[in-house]
């Protein structure tokens, strides 16, 4: 326990722009989520910590991740980690790619792990894992026909949605890479191999489904999240999380910005907006002047989260200075994009 607290203190310093709630002083909902994360991941990891200034958003993130990915169910963890890594590649999130390729070092093979990390999914040896990972890699853009039975949709679409959310948030609040700078070639593989062995107990565990549901009150599953309906626990987690994210947006993101982002997501073809800033400056030009900083933050988080920088964050904080507001705004924009990806997975034939 002492070692975990020391490690948590070290990883807390990875978080930028906000000050996480320390593990030792957490109370209420934050303490409840930390306890579950520490029990099941052996450490309160940076993606958990960064959400802590906004407790309901923290709980929403945790249940959106835990129930489809971490809890024991039908789909094997190897396949789900390949999906998580593929989505992380799609979102240009090197931190997440490092984390989930490390998981594959233990659950699959080193060559498979590096193939996913290098965006070479076609080189995966197992044809079933290759098909599912390839589907996940493109789900935001082409919504290909799902290469798995309908009964697996709550888990696999759930992982896709969770990591389209998480990669965007991680790109804003965490460093570019999880691994130490300067590691290349064989040294990088040795490091991943060692960390994969340390993670083995958590990767091969199968925690009881549904433990996170008590964190937030029950809610109704939206129609566009029908992909979760076949699993009552995942459906309950998604419904609760979606409502919490919506409320965070209502609190921290001006209504004109929310309307703008939803309109842009409706027209999104899954492609990157490209370099330069004219696309988001032009999009925000019609917003009231006080809302434009929030508009830039929301659009970048949704469409190019790896480009959120000090200037974008500082501009937002001039009108919304609290850590809570920043976490809520980024989380809402990331959720809005992830929710749209989930909707596309639900109706691939229509696209």
Please identify which of the residues 93, 96, 284, 345 carries the catalytic annotation: 96
Q: How far is CA 139 from the centre of its chain?
A: 15
Closest CA to 62 of 85, 81, 38, 86: 38
Spatial distance between the Cα atoms of 337 and 343, rounded to a whole number of angstroms: 10
Spatial distance between the Cα atoms of 67 and 62, rounded to a whole number of angstroms: 8
Instruction: Assess contact for 174 and 15: CB atoms under 8 A.
Output: yes
Spatial distance between the Cα atoms of 68 and 345, rounded to a whole number of angstroms: 15
Contacts of 148 (CB under 8 A, 6+ apart): 75, 131, 132, 135, 156
345 a catalytic residue: no
Question: DSSP letters of 19-49?
Answer: -PPPGGG--HHHHHHHHHHHHHHSS--HHHH
- Residues noted as catalytic: 96
């Amino acid at each position: 326990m002492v070692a975990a607290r020391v490690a948590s203190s070290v990883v807390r310093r990875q978080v930028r722009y906000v000050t996480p709630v320390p593990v030792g002083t957490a109370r209420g909902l934050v303490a409840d989520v930390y306890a579950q994360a520490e029990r099941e991941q052996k450490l309160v990891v940076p993606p958990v910590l960064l959400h802590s200034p906004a407790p309901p958003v923290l709980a929403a993130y945790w249940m959106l991740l835990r129930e489809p990915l971490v809890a024991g169910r039908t789909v094997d963890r190897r396949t789900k980690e390949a999906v998580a890594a593929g989505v992380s590649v799609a979102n240009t999130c090197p931190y997440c790619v490092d984390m989930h390729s490390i998981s594959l070092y233990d659950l699959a093979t080193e060559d498979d792990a590096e193939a996913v990390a290098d965006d070479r999914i076609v080189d995966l040896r197992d044809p079933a894992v290759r098909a599912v990972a390839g589907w996940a890699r493109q789900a935001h853009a082409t919504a290909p026909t799902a290469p798995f039975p309908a009964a697996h949709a709550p888990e696999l679409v759930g992982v896709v949605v969770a990591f389209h959310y998480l990669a965007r948030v991680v790109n804003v609040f965490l460093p570019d890479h999880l691994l130490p700078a300067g590691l290349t070639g064989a040294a990088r593989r040795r490091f991943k191999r060692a960390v994969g062995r340390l993670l083995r107990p958590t990767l091969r565990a199968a925690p009881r489904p549904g433990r996170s549901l008590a964190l937030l009150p029950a809610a109704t599953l939206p129609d566009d999240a029908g992909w979760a309906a076949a699993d009552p626990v995942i459906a309950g987690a998604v419904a609760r999380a979606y409502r919490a994210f919506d409320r965070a947006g209502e609190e921290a993101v001006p209504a004109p910005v929310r309307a703008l982002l939803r309109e842009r997501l409706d027209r999104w073809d899954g492609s990157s907006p490209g370099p330069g800033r004219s696309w988001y400056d032009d999009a925000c030009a019609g917003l009231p002047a006080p809302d434009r900083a929030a508009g830039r933050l929301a659009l970048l988080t949704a469409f190019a989260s790896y480009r959120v920088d000090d200037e974008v964050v500082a501009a937002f904080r001039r009108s919304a200075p609290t850590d809570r507001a920043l976490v809520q705004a980024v989380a809402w924009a990331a959720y809005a994009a992830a929710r749209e990806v989930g909707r596309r997975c639900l109706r691939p034939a229509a696209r």
